[in-house]
Amino acid sequence: MKNTPNNQVCFKISQENPEPALDNFYIFDERHPHIKDYLKNTKEIKKLLTTIQTLIEKKEQTKIVDKYFQELADTLSQYSNCSEFSCFINACDNTLDYVKADVGLLKQIAKKYFKKRILNETVPEEWIQAILDSNSGRKKGACGENKLIAILEKKGFEKINTWEEFNKNKKCVVRFSKSFDLKHVRKNLDIKIKTKKQNKKLDLLIKDSNKLFLLEAKHLNTGGGGQDKQISELIELLSLKETKKDIYYISFLDGNYSNILLGNNGNGDKIKQQRKEIIKYIKKNPNNFWVNTKGFENIF
C-alpha cells in the first residue's frame, strides 16, 4: 500500500454500496448436524415427564417418583435445550445446568410444568430445528472478523497468530487475543490507544508494510439500547488520535443497520446524531475510517 485512501472517500463508497440483505458469512441455513441427538434426548425427557406425571397422579410412593426425577436430571444434557421443558425452565428464570444440579428445584419446576403446560409425546423435527435456528444469532460473534480476514487474504495478507510471525510478515492480519491484547499492542508497537476502557478488546490488527490498522467490527440488523452502545463504541474509536502518522483506526459496521446509518433519507433524531458524529470525526481525524464491506475493501 503506497498511499492510504482518503477516509471520506471510503465513507462515500460505503454509502453508495449498501450491504446486501443476505450475507453468506452470517447465514446458518443447514440442518443442525446433531439434530438426531436433540430429537432423541427430547423424546426421552418427554417420556420421563409423562411417567412422573402419571406416578404423581396415582399417588405412588415418593421414593419411586424421586427415582424418576433423578433419571430426568441425569437425562438433561447439551442436547436438551431445545425441548419444551428446557424452554419452560428458562421461563422460570433458571438455567438447564443449574436445575440439573438441584433435583429439589427440578421437582418444583416440573410440577409447575404439569399445571401450566400441555404435555404430549409429539416431537416434530422441524420444531427442534426451528429453536436451533432462532438461536443462530449466538453463532455470529466472530463472523464479521472471519469475513474481513477472508477479504484480506484474497488481497495477499497472511493470517498469523504470533508476534514472531507479525514482525516477519509485511502484510498480515491477526485477531486480538490474550497475546495480542491492548497491553501487548501498546508495549510492542508503541501505540497509545487511549480508549475509555484501558482493557477494551478490539477485533483485528492489520499490518501493511509500515502502516498499522486497528479495527473493531460490529454486525447490526436493528437499532435499540444494546445496539446504541455498540455504535457508541465504534464512534469512540473514530475519536482516537495517535502521534505516529502510520497508525489508523477502522470502525467497521455491516448488516441492515449499517444501511440505515449510512443513508441520507429522513430517519430519526438518534440516527441523524450518530451520523453527524461519524462525519465529524472522520473529518477531524483523517487516519480514521468508518466503513462497511465495500468501504473496507477500498482501504486495501
The ranges assigned to domains in the chain are 7-26+141-299, 35-137
In sequence order, the 6+-apart residues with CB closer than 8 A to the CB of 145 are: 175, 203, 204, 217
DSSP 160: -
pLDDT at 176: 95
Encode burial over 155-187: b for 16+ CB neighbours within 10 A, e otherwise.
Answer: eebbebeeeeebeeeebbbbbbeeebebeebee
Query: Tens place of pLDDT for every residue, the chain, 300 residues?
Result: 667 789 999 999 999 999 999 999 999 999 999 999 999 999 999 999 999 999 999 999 999 999 999 999 999 999 999 999 999 999 999 999 999 999 999 999 999 999 999 998 899 999 999 999 998 887 788 999 999 999 999 999 999 999 999 999 999 999 999 999 999 999 999 999 988 776 678 999 999 999 999 999 999 987 666 688 899 999 999 999 999 999 999 999 999 999 999 987 657 788 999 999 999 999 999 999 999 999 999 999
User: 247-254 and 288-291: which strand pairing?
Assistant: parallel
Encode burial over 242-264: b for 16+ CB neighbours within 10 A, e otherwise.
Answer: beeeebbbbbbbbbbbbbbbbee
pLDDT at 294: 98
Reduced to 3 states, what is the DSSP secondary structure of residue 295? helix
* Residue 149 identity (one-letter amino acid): I
pLDDT at 149: 98
pTM of the model: 0.84
pLDDT at 300: 92
Query: 105: exposed, middle or buried (C-beta count within 10 Å: 0-12, 13-18, 19+)?
Result: middle
User: Residues in the chain, how many?
Assistant: 300
CATH tag, 7-26+141-299: 3.40.1350
Encode burial over 59-77: b for 16+ CB neighbours within 10 A, e otherwise.
Answer: eeeeeebeebbeebbebbe
